[in-house]
Each structure stands twice: as C-alpha cells, then as structure tokens.
Amino acid sequence: MMKAIDLFAGAGGLSLGLHLAGIDVVGAVEIDSHACETYRHNLGDHIFEKDITSFPPKEMEELMKSENLINSKKDIDLVVGGPPCPGFSNIGRSKISSLIKEGKWSGSEIRHSFIEDPRNKLFHQFVKYVKYFQPSVFLMENVSGMTSYRSSDNKPIIEVIRNEFENINYNVKIEMLTASDFGVPQSRKRIFFMGWRNDYNEPFFPVAKGFEITSMEAICDIPESWHHSDQMHESSLLSLKKSSEILSLKGERKLSLEGREFLKKMRTLKPPNNGNLKRQKINLHRSRVVNPRDVGVFPEIKSGEFGIKKMFKDIDPSIITYPDNWRWNKSTGTIWNGRHGQYRRDYRWYNPGTFGDKMRRIRGDKPAPTIVAHLTHDGYMFIHPDIHRTITVREAARFQSFPDKFDFSANGKVPWSKQFKQVGNAVPPLLAKELGLSIMKSIH
C-alpha cells in the first residue's frame, strides 16, 4: 500500500480522499487547532499540530518513527498538500486592494504581480518536504487565481513554482481541474501540480466522469434544519428522507442515477476513525436565524433556474413585505421595527452599488458554486435553492462531497463557525479520491 503525508492538511479532505482510494496517509501537519481536532476525530491521531515553518521535515520523520507510523523516510511514496496562498484568491485580492486604497497595506502591489503576503511563500516549505522525503510522486493544490499572477521579475507564478520543483530533480505537470467533472456537486476550480521522480512512470490526472451532480440532487434527502437559536446540541441527529420522499424534485428537476449513487455514498461512506453515526442520520444541520430584514429579502432572491435571475441590487426595499411591524425607513436607509427608544431595532440596507451581489441563491439544477471559508462569517452568497435561509454545515459538506459520518464538530469540540471555515478550505474528498486512484494506477 502506498504511504503518504499530507501537509497543510486542514480538516482532512485530501487525506480522506486518498484513504478512499486505498492510500495510507501516515502523517499530516496542520497549524489550526480546530482543524486538528476535526482531523483527529475523523481520520486518526497521525496529525501534528505544528507551524510548518518551524517544523522541519527531519523532525516530522523522527516523530513518525517514534510513533511507529514509518520505519524511515523511504517509506513515504507520496507527499500532498495545499499551501495557503490567500493573495491568489479573488477574496484575498479584493481585501488587499481595499487595504491599498485605504493606505493600510505595507507591501507593494503591481497589477497581476505576486502579492507580498508571507503566506504565499509557504509552498517553499512544501518543496523542502518533497526534497527531504524524496517521494515517487507529489501533488500540490492551490486556488485557480494563481494562474493570473506574475513574480516581481514578470514570470508567471506557476512557472516559478515549477522551477522550484525542477531544481530538486522532479518532473512537473500542471492541470486545472473542476470538481464537478469528478462527481462532486460543486463547480470548484483548483490548480494541481503533479510531480514525479525520473525513475518512475509519469503519473496522470483523472479523466472527467462525463456527468454532473446538481446541488439539489446532493441535498434532496436532507430534511428542514433547526435554527441556530434552538437549544439543541450541535451533534443532534436528524433522520434523512426515505427514498419514496425524494423521488419527485421541485419543477422539472429529476434525480439521476448518478445522483442516487452520490446520495448512497454520502449516507454510507465512513471516515477511518469515525463511523459511529447511525445510518440514515445526519448531524451539523443547523441554519442561521433569518433576521426580519432577510425574511423579506430572501423570497425575492432568484437563482434564474425558474425564470429571471434576481440579486440584491434588483430589490426595492420599499415594496417588500416584512414580518410583524417591520418596515422600510427611507430616511435612515434601514429596515426598522417601528419602535423608539430602547426598543428600537434597525437592520441596514446594503448599498446596492457596492453590494449588488451581496445575496445569491444557489441554482438547484446545476452544481453548487465554490464553497468558501467566508461562510464562517455569513452565508448570503449561499441561499438554499428552495428554502428561504442560508445553507447549513452539513449541506456545505455535501456540496464538498464529505460523507455524513464526517463530523466537523469533533463530537462538539469545534465551534459552529469554525466548521464552515474547515469545509470551505477543504479539497473535495471525491476529487482527491480520483487523483489518488490515477496516481496509483500510473505508479503500479
């Protein structure tokens, strides 16, 4: 069996996918304590909670040897990971641009040049680990935005990274993969660097499946959620809908054979260290409370699946029906409860020019949009296809292809908001599985 280590492992999406492919992940490194809790609970105790910049590969080898995970570094066939590069993402780019405008950014910024965030150089640590362990293959994942960046001497960043690996005698090929091509109900694009030693066969990337799983196919068996304000424990279980209840989807939607197979996987697949949840049950399915403003707004947000697409910028706050005595207050630009003094409550109306796409509904007939870590702050870009609320952790996990038995709360140890962050940062396990299978076939 191939043995692998996972760097910048997060909650373990890559590790889980490799496990499903038949690869033994014997070591992992992650700095975030909550992600380590989740990884440990679901995947095992072989994760080291370390800052990789002060955790050299030799030290990791010695720790793995002391815990009888390996005999020596020669046991490692595969090194995988996704070094965080926030400046390459669209969200990171927007944030840094706004800091520049406000005069709060201390680095330099040349359009389409490498942004000087030290986290963007963490891939050097990945290179160090590959150089030390000398695996037959490595796999490094990153955001698609990386392709538009150049270094300070005007070289494409992806070529700079390729050269780093070639300098330690690895062949490298680069591919942009879309998760929905590989059985994941999400249109997530990521760039993958695959490298191999000269004494091994060239590994290959997986071939697209030829079908897509839609967002509603992925969650159509999940019942209505409970609200965050309800006094229920995070890991309380809900019964999934029976087959007879999910045969007919809203409108013209159909549940395909591939959709059925996906649901079966989500219900039955088990992470190696946590398969105790009862079959046909799910957890982590609490939704955020919908405030009075959004009670009026959410029904107006249309995905375009059943007609014209409608976003926040298209909504007139003065003609919406709000609950109870809530109303539009033009003078203050808020939704107001009509009361004064200590009983007055307001919710501001976002500037439609700046926040025109602040709220967006997921189309039920297409794969979900890219699930992002920003869900930890709000879910306005991820309003349920049919229900007037934002998605839950379990629904986000389904879109990422995590099975229902994967518990992001680590049995209640991980806060609710941190669970969203972990889901958004993860590599979809079913995509990771396909990558793992392709690597094994080519090597053997």
Q: How many helices (H) and strands (E) does the chain have?
A: 12, 14
Name the token pair of 237: 């279980």
Q: Which residues contact 54 (CB under 8 A, 6 or more apart)?
A: none
Is residue 85 within 8 Å of 146, Cβ to Cβ?
Answer: yes
Confirm whether 85 is a catalytic residue: yes
Amino acid sitting at position 441: K
- In angstroms, the CA 226 to CA 125 distance is 43
Taken in order 86, 87, 89, 91, the sign of the CA dihedral is positive
Distance of CA 406 to the CA centre of its chain: 14
Name the token pair of 144: 């698609």
- Pick the catalytic residue: 9, 36, 85, 371? 85
Name the token pair of 365: 């007939």
Q: What is the dihedral of CA 78, 32, 183, 302, to 10 degrees?
A: -160
Name the token pair of 413: 């140890």
Nearest to 329 by CA among 311, 302, 347: 347
DSSP 229-293: TS---TT--EEPPPGGGSSS-STT----HHHHHHHHHHHH---TT---SPTTEE---EE----HH
CB atoms within 10 A of CB 124: 12
Taken in order 218, 222, 227, 228, the sign of the CA dihedral is negative
Name the token pair of 84: 């965080």
Q: How many CA atoms lie within 13 A of 85 on its CB side?
A: 28
Catalytic residues: 85
